[in-house]
Structures are given as C-alpha cells and as structure tokens.
Structure 1
Amino acid sequence: MKSFQVWIQACRLRTLPLAVASIIVAAGLAVQHQVFSASIFLLSILTALLLQILSNLANDYGDALTGADDQRTGPERAMQSGLISATSMKKAIVLVTGLCLISGLSLLSVSFAGDLTRWLVFLGLGVAAIIAAITYTMGKLPYGYRAMGDIAVFLFFGLLGVLGSFYLQALTLPISLILPAISVGLLSAAVLNINNMRDVYSDKAANKITLVVLLGRKKAFVYHLLLISTAMLCSSLYIYQLEGSQFWQYLFLLITSPLAKSCIQIAEAIKKDDREGSIFNEQLKNTAISAFVFSLLFAIVLIA
C-alpha cells in the first residue's frame, strides 16, 4: 500500500484537472457546432491524462538527476527523496509512454477510420506530444531548462489541446476557435509561471533557465498579469462574435475574482522576497483550479 501511495504521489494527481481543461473547452465547442462525440471526448480525456502523468514522471526523473529538486520549495518529489529509484522511474516512463500510444491510436481509429492522410498528420502530432512530455526535463537538451516551457505549455495545453480535440470530432476547424484555444493556453502558462516564480532561486542554483530566471520575479509578475488578462479578453471576444450572444454567456468571467485575489497574494510574496514558497504553492493550486473552473464555465455557456 505504501508503494502504491508513493506512485500516486509521483503522478501528481493535482495537475490532472488542468490537463483536461482544453478537452472540456473543445467538447463545449463541439456541442455548439453539433459535432460532439462522446467516445472521442472520453478517449481524448484519457490520452490527455496519460500525457500529463508521463510529463510528471519524466519531470521527476529529469530534475532529480540534474539536482533541480535538491533545494525545491514545492512538494517533495518521489525520486529526489529516494522513495522511487531511477530504474523504477524509467520503467514507469516506458510503461506510460506505451499507454499513451495505445490510447492515442485508439482515438485516431475512432476519429479517422481509414483516412490515411489525417491519420499520419495526427500521429505525428501525437508523437510530438509524447516527445514534448518526456524531454521537458529529460535528455541531453531538455527544453524546460532553456526557457521554452511556457511556449510548449501554450501550444500543447492550449492550441493543440482545444483545436486538435475539436478537429477530431468535426473534421473541420473554424478560424474563430483560435480565441478560446489561446485563452486555455495562456491560463495554463500562468500556472507554470507561478511554479517558476516559486522555484526561481533553486532553478538558478541548478542552472535551470526558465523565463522567470531570465526576467526576474517582478517582470515575471507583469508577464503573469498579461497572460491572465489576455486569456479573459480572447474568450470574451469569442462570445461577443457569436450571433445573438447574451450577457449571461460571459459567466466564465466570474473566475477573474479568484484570479485577481491570487495575483494580489503573489505580488505580496514577491515584495517580501518569499523564498519558502508557501504563498506560491497556495496560489499555484488556486490558479490551476480557477483555470479548470474556467473551462467548465466556458463549456457550459456554449452547451446552454
């Protein structure tokens, strides 16, 4: 039982709701366009969850090897603390990679059947997603150590997650859907930004170059405000351009209140030069929950 709990901890279940936010928004858009498929939705959810777990395990492994977790202020990591060996973690990464492939191939089979061109294009995208999940902190050139994590999160959690999941159901892609896709991507990047603001000192010590390391906490906070405000603007523009849109359809903007409170707390932590990370940990959780609630509210607005 203890070993099972350790692996559950390594999978970081708290990160999973945010991983499916893009799929939920895509489902709302699919219902709006009358192309929703329950089987594709469920397989998309499963694939997204497996990719996030794969990313978490690979991140645990990569940061432990480089020493980035040695002085971390966030939750304890399984491999760095000695609860899971490097060999066991590598085996788990291989296993989850296989599960990602099985889930992804099943998804493509349901979506495209015998359409070889679409099959190959999305197979390439799926392989790219798996590689991105693994190489964030693993390998000889981990892009998470080269200030590219924000871009990857925006692309895979936002653009690819929303637009790709919608296309799997509709086999077409209206250009206006780029707006909610941008919103989800920016909110996901905001969650990563809080994580990196918290870890900026330990990342510097481990030579892990994140955007926050390059900008510093104060400028990274301005960037954080831009991420959130632009996300709300893009989603609002999507509702505004809908024919016959009504005031109640901006219901998702309710999450601006908890996001604003979170920003105030983060600003205070930066002002105090907080190095313990407790405030950042709390606001990391709150922002991730807010991003997930945003996806639910946005989807409900479209479905209703």
Structure 2
Amino acid sequence: MATTKSWIKAARPRTLPLALSGIIMGCGLAWFYGAIDALVSVLAIITATLIQVFSNFANDYGDSQKGTDNEFRLGPTRTMQSGEISHSEMKKGMTIVGGLSFIFGIGLVYAGTWHFSHSAFFGFVALGILSLLAAFFYTAGKKSYGYVGLGDLAVFLFFGLLPVIGVFYLNANYWETAVILPAISVGFFSTGVLNLNNMRDIENDQQSGKITLPVRMGARNSRIYHTAMILWGWVATVLFTFHQQESAWQWLFMLTLPLFLIDLKKIQRTKDARSLDPFLKRLSLSTLAFTLLFCLGLILAIS
C-alpha cells in the first residue's frame, strides 16, 4: 500500500509554485484594477493546486504506461516507476483529486459568475473540464498530445493565458485587454520549465517515442528557443508596465531579472543533460518571485 510520503512525492511539490504563479498574477491584476474578490481568489488557489496535483498523478500514470519512465530517464524516479504506487492506487488517487478539483472548481466559477452571468458560469465550467482533460491526456491515453510535441502549447495556455485572464475575469467580471501581456509572460516562463524538462530527457524521450519539441529541434535549437521564450516573457510585462504605469513601485519585478539572466547563461553553457535538472526548480521559483514582486508593485502603486 502506498505511503503518505509516496503520495507527496507523486504530487511533486516543486511544481506547485509554477501552478500558482498564474493564479497569483490574475489576483494581483484584479487588485490593481480595484476588483479583487477574496473568496474567488482563495477558491482559485485551491482549485489550481488540486488540478496541478491531478496533472502530476496523470503524468506519472501515463509515462509509466508507455515505458518512458525507465532506468535511462535522467530526472527524479517516479512513484509508479519505482513501484511505490500501483496502477490501481494511482487510478484511485486521480479519481479523488480530479473529483475534488471539479467540486472546488464549480464553487469557484459559481462565486465568480453566477450573480451576473449564467452563460459565463457554464463557459467556465467547460474550461474547467477542458483543463482536467488536458491534464490527463498530456501523457495518458492512447493519443496523448505530449508525445507529439503539443505540450508546449498546452502549458502556455493552461499555465499562462487561462489562469491569469480567467482569474482576473472571475474577480472583476469584465475583460481587460492589457492583462494579456502579463499572462503571456507567465505562459512563456511556464513553457520554459517544460522545455528544460524535455531538454534534460531528450535522448530517453527519443528512444521511447515521445516526440517533444527538443526531440524535433535538437539540443542546440532548444536552447535558442528557451532563451527566446524567457526574453519575450520579460518584454511582455515591461510593455504592460510602461502602458499601465501609475507608480515607480510597479518596476519592483525587475529585481528578479538577474535570476533569469544568470540561469540563461548557465543553461547555454551546460552540455550534460542531467545537469539541467536543477534549473527546472530555479525557473519555477524565479517565476513565482517575479509574480509576487510584480503583484506587490501593483498593490503599492494604488495604495
């Protein structure tokens, strides 16, 4: 029987800062525009955490089924790969966490939409279901899109655009075109984490039939692609700040720029694929720090 320690390991806590960055960004932007809703914000954080854990369980399950998690993989040993959690236990785990995600998600969209638009309620419910399906079919199922190079697009949408813009709307009950720019930043940084993961596992993925973008592009072009995403992510938020500037406090997020630049330089020089693994956590935490300082700057700007 799987232990609590094994379930925590399967939940992959180091992925949670990245999952929460988009939610926090959406809440911070809602605050800046004077439309924050505390209940919506709390429910969004809980729902996003549950969906991320569900996604990690499904990823463990799918890669184990396809044999991608094997002795040649350079990343951390997964719980199903090691036998800590069985197939049947993981199915139950996915069912429970997926169910909780759906329940809290319903509460979230009800709190954020029902009082002013029933159609928006059903639209967000559909997006929530789509998020769960996307989390499952990334590596699980017979036609998992992560095995044909579509994972980057999914991460950009479901870690960047959807959480930032969606949470802003659920708080504010209206669209604000400018928030697309910070959403793009979080999307690119999140996709960068996936790209690092795929760069690390490029050889094993290729041998296992998992055709990620690094497998298609090669190691050198993958590093160029990674640098481009990080730089364009920064450009997007700088443009937003220039356009929406109310105070110099809004430039607080610039304090995290050295973290990104130093790691970009090191990644370009790293030749051993295994040595890329620490940069996944570093980029996740840098993205969270970027988001927190950006949102703090927004709050201070209108205080």
TM norm structure 1: 0.95
Tell me how far 1:2 sits from its aligned partner.
7.4
Partner of 1:75: 76
Partner of 1:33: 33
Tell me how far 1:243 sits from its aligned partner.
4.6
Tell me how far 1:259 sits from its aligned partner.
1.4
Matches of 2:234 and 2:200 in 1, distance apart? 24
Report the residue type matching 2:243 in the other structure: Q
Matches of 1:216 and 1:198 in 2, distance apart? 12
Aligned counterpart for 1:168 among listed residues 164, 167, 170? 170
Q: For the structure 1 residues 173 and 79, does the alpha-carbon distance in structure 2 shift closer, same or farther, using more than 3 Å as the test?
A: same
Contact 2:20/2:45 (CA < 8 Å) preserved in 1? yes
Matches of 1:301 and 1:223 in 2, distance apart? 29
Aligned counterpart for 1:298 among listed residues 294, 297, 303? 294
1:151-190 correspondence runs (5 A): 151-190=153-192
Aligned counterpart for 1:208 among listed residues 192, 207, 210? 210
Tell me how far 1:262 sits from its aligned partner.
1.2
In structure 1, list runs of 5 or more residues that go unmatched.
Answer: none
Matches of 2:121 and 2:279 in 1, distance apart? 40
SS of structure 1 residue aligned to 2:74 = coil
1:109-159 deviation per Cα after TM superposition (whole angstroms, max 9, x unaligned): 211225321111101111100100111000111011010111000001100
Tell me how far 1:249 sits from its aligned partner.
2.3
TM norm structure 2: 0.96
Tell me how far 1:169 sits from its aligned partner.
0.8
Contact 1:10/1:60 (CA < 8 Å) preserved in 2? yes
Q: For the structure 1 residues 21 and 243, does the alpha-carbon distance in structure 2 shift closer, same or farther, using more than 3 Å as the test?
A: closer
SS of structure 2 residue aligned to 1:75 = coil
Report the residue type matching 2:260 in the other structure: L
Report the residue type matching 1:58 in the other structure: A
Tell me how far 1:90 sits from its aligned partner.
0.8
Q: For the structure 1 residues 204 and 37, does the alpha-carbon distance in structure 2 shift closer, same or farther, using more than 3 Å as the test?
A: same
Q: For the structure 1 residues 244 and 37, does the alpha-carbon distance in structure 2 shift closer, same or farther, using more than 3 Å as the test?
A: closer
Report the residue type matching 1:14 in the other structure: R
Contact 1:239/1:245 (CA < 8 Å) preserved in 2? no
Matches of 1:224 and 1:158 in 2, distance apart? 16
Tell me how far 1:284 sits from its aligned partner.
1.1
Structure 1's consecutive aligned runs of 4 or more residues displaced over 2 angstroms after TM superposition are 243-246
1:116-155 correspondence runs (5 A): 116-155=118-157
Aligned counterpart for 2:279 among listed residues 259, 283, 297? 283
Contact 1:262/1:283 (CA < 8 Å) preserved in 2? yes
Contact 1:163/1:178 (CA < 8 Å) preserved in 2? yes
Contact 2:2/2:84 (CA < 8 Å) preserved in 1? no
Matches of 2:3 and 2:189 in 1, distance apart? 34
Contact 1:265/1:283 (CA < 8 Å) preserved in 2? no
1:47-76 deviation per Cα after TM superposition (whole angstroms, max 9, x unaligned): 100110011000000001111110211111
Matches of 1:25 and 1:31 in 2, distance apart? 10
Partner of 1:6: 6
Residue identity (%)? 42
Partner of 1:102: 103
Tell me how far 1:260 sits from its aligned partner.
1.6
Contact 1:232/1:253 (CA < 8 Å) preserved in 2? no
Q: CA RMSD in A?
A: 1.3
Matches of 1:244 and 1:15 in 2, distance apart? 33
SS of structure 2 residue aligned to 1:291 = helix
